[in-house]
């Protein structure tokens, strides 16, 4: 395993035990059995390393989901498997890294939804991306808000955050986009 990824795996494990601001470079290096210079050869600081951790993170099966409910479930299952790590990151300066991870997962799933609709063949690629960005931003921000602010987190509680949206809204937006594209041509 490359040194950078060994640091990343160790930091993630340590963040399961304590908050990021309580983890020193020295303690991390001790656990990795390297000296401090090795850390600073690869990273500027702990947040630089934390960025690498999140760049390597993946949400399992997000590419297989067929509905918003499945997408939310997938993200929630990832959260439950990594709860301390995510909670620790959310309460640190690295909060945006969690948001980026969730946004990327939502964007990927929503683009898959859009591409699965028959109407998607006639809606322009850029307009599909615009719709996906809109929904991905709304979902990822809402998921992060829920996880950061609710004490008793549950999948049902997270679903209630999105009770007003369903798959039909996405199809309607695709149809409206198609009408708009036809009108401007």
| CATH, residue 20 | 1.10.10
For 15-41, write each residue's pLDDT tens digit: 999 999 999 999 999 999 999 999 999
Judgement on whether residues 23 and 95 belong to the same structural domain of the protein: no
Specify which of 92-106, 127-141, 157-171 reaches the highest per-range mean pLDDT.
92-106
Judgement on whether residues 136 and 116 belong to the same structural domain of the protein: yes
For 135-181, write each residue's pLDDT tens digit: 999 999 999 999 999 999 999 999 888 766 665 566 666 676 666 66
Judgement on whether residues 44 and 85 belong to the same structural domain of the protein: no
Query: 179 is written with which tokens?
Result: 């009408």
Judgement on whether residues 76 and 119 belong to the same structural domain of the protein: yes
Judgement on whether residues 129 and 49 belong to the same structural domain of the protein: no
CA distances from 125 to 54, 121, 159 (A): 28, 9, 29
How many separate domains does the chain show? Answer: 2
User: What is the mean predicted confidence (pLDDT) over 61-83?
Assistant: 95
Judgement on whether residues 132 and 106 belong to the same structural domain of the protein: yes
Distance, CA of 114 to CA of 112 (rounded, Å): 5
pLDDT at 127 (0 to 100): 82
Evaluate the CA torsion angle 54, 130, 166, 63 in order and state its sign: negative
Judgement on whether residues 27 and 102 belong to the same structural domain of the protein: no
Query: 184 is written with which tokens?
Result: 């401007």
> What confidence category does residue 81 fall into, taking pLDDT thresholds of 50, 70 and 90?
very high
CA-based radius of gyration for the chain: 20
Judgement on whether residues 104 and 134 belong to the same structural domain of the protein: yes
Half-sphere exposure in the Cβ direction for 115 (13 Å, CA):
12
Judgement on whether residues 71 and 87 belong to the same structural domain of the protein: yes
Q: What length is written for the chain?
A: 185
Which residue range(s) make up the domain with 30?
3-53
Judgement on whether residues 127 and 85 belong to the same structural domain of the protein: yes
């Amino acid at each position: 395993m490359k040194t950078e990824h060994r640091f990343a795996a160790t930091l993630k494990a340590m963040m399961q035990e304590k908050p990021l601001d309580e983890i020193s470079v020295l303690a991390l290096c001790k656990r990795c059995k390297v000296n401090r210079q090795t850390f600073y050869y690869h990273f500027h600081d702990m947040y630089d390393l934390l960025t690498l951790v999140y760049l390597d993170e993946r949400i399992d099966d997000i590419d297989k989901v067929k509905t918003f409910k499945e997408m939310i479930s997938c993200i929630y299952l990832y959260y439950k498997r990594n709860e301390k790590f995510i909670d620790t990151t959310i309460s640190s300066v690295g909060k945006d890294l969690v948001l980026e991870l969730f946004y990327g997962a939502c964007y990927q799933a929503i683009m898959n939804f859009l591409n699965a609709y028959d109407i998607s063949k006639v809606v322009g690629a850029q307009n599909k991306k615009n719709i996906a960005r809109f929904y991905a931003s709304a979902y990822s921000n809402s998921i992060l808000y829920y996880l950061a602010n609710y004490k008793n987190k549950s999948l049902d509680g997270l679903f209630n955050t999105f009770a007003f949206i369903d798959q039909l809204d996405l199809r309607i937006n695709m149809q409206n986009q198609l009408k708009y594209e036809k009108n401007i041509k």
